[in-house]
Structures are given as C-alpha cells and as structure tokens.
C-alpha cells in the first residue's frame, strides 16, 4: 500500500512538471484577461444613446497583448485590466508611441462594450459607469465565430 501511495505521489508531481507555460492562464477564470481571449469584431457604435453602424475593426487578445485593427491602422499593445474599479478598466499601452489609453469596459450578453475616452478639450471625466453612449461613444464588439 505504501508503494502504491508513493507511486501515485510521483505520478502527480511528474504531471505537474509536464505543464507548459502556455497552459498557465495569466489571469484567473473569474474575470480579467481570460474572459477577453480571442478575436472580437466591432459590430456597432453607440452615439448619443443611439446605435449606429461603424467601419470594420477588431481587437484580438492573446496573453497580455492585444492587436487592434481599424481600417488601415494595425498595432499591438500591452493590455492591463483593473477589475477592482467599477466599471473595470482596460488599459492599452503602446511602447512605440509611449502612450496609454484607458477605457471602461464590460462584457454582457456575449458583447464587449468599450467606452471611448474623451479627446483633449472634451469632458475628460464623464460618468464612468455609463455605457449608454450618452456621455461618450461606446464601441460594441462581438466574439468572432470560428
């Protein structure tokens, strides 16, 4: 019996060592980056509380990176999420431009809502919890079907 228990322990430890770094999720499954993993396609914009069409674009999340494609512009940024804030915020850090863009976001009914930050000269502090499009444009994305 003792040999059996020791054998099981060795097998369990060996199984743990066999995991690769790709198997380890950088964020817990309860939220964060893991809920965004994959490609999201822009489906609509909300302006002044009304749905409107928008040009094609996408956000592809892989690990702690996001590739943003909008028209002819494509860039990759490091992404950080702060789920302690209400609503949670998505921070895109572009090293080549030394710039950071922070957007409140939520995932609801299979859609990713990104509240677009105000430009200089605009109201820099609209209601953060507002995803209605009244205080600032909101981009709505849906997960790409494989």
> Residue 127's pLDDT is what?
52
- Where does residue 137 fall: left (phi above 0), alpha (psi -120 to 50 degrees), or beta otherwise? beta
Report yes or no on 4 lying in a domain: no
Report yes or no on 53 lying in a domain: yes
Report yes or no on 12 lying in a domain: no
Average pLDDT value for residue range 100-105: 92
CATH code (residue 77): 2.40.128
Give the structural domain span for 102: 27-143
* C-alpha triplet 103, 49, 139: angle, nearest 5°: 35
- Residue bearing the bigger pLDDT, 103 or 146: 103
> Residue 133's pLDDT is what?
86
pLDDT per position as a tens digit, 8-64 = 333 333 333 333 333 333 443 345 788 899 999 999 999 888 888 777 899 999 999
Report yes or no on 71 lying in a domain: yes
Domain count for the chain: 1
């Amino acid at each position: 019996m003792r040999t059996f228990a020791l054998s099981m322990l060795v097998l369990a430890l060996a199984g743990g060592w066999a995991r690769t770094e790709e198997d380890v999720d950088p964020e817990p499954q309860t939220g964060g980056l893991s809920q965004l993993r994959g490609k999201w396609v822009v489906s609509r914009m909300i302006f002044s509380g009304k749905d409107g069409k928008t040009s094609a674009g996408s956000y592809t999340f892989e690990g702690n990176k996001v590739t943003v494609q909008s028209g002819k512009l494509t860039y990759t940024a490091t992404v950080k999420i702060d789920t302690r804030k209400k609503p949670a915020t998505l921070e895109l850090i572009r090293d080549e431009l030394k710039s950071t863009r922070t957007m409140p976001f939520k995932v609801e009914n299979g859609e990713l809502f990104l509240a677009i930050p105000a430009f200089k000269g605009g109201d820099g502090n609209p209601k953060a919890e507002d995803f209605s499009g009244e205080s600032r444009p909101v981009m709505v994305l849906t997960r790409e079907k494989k």
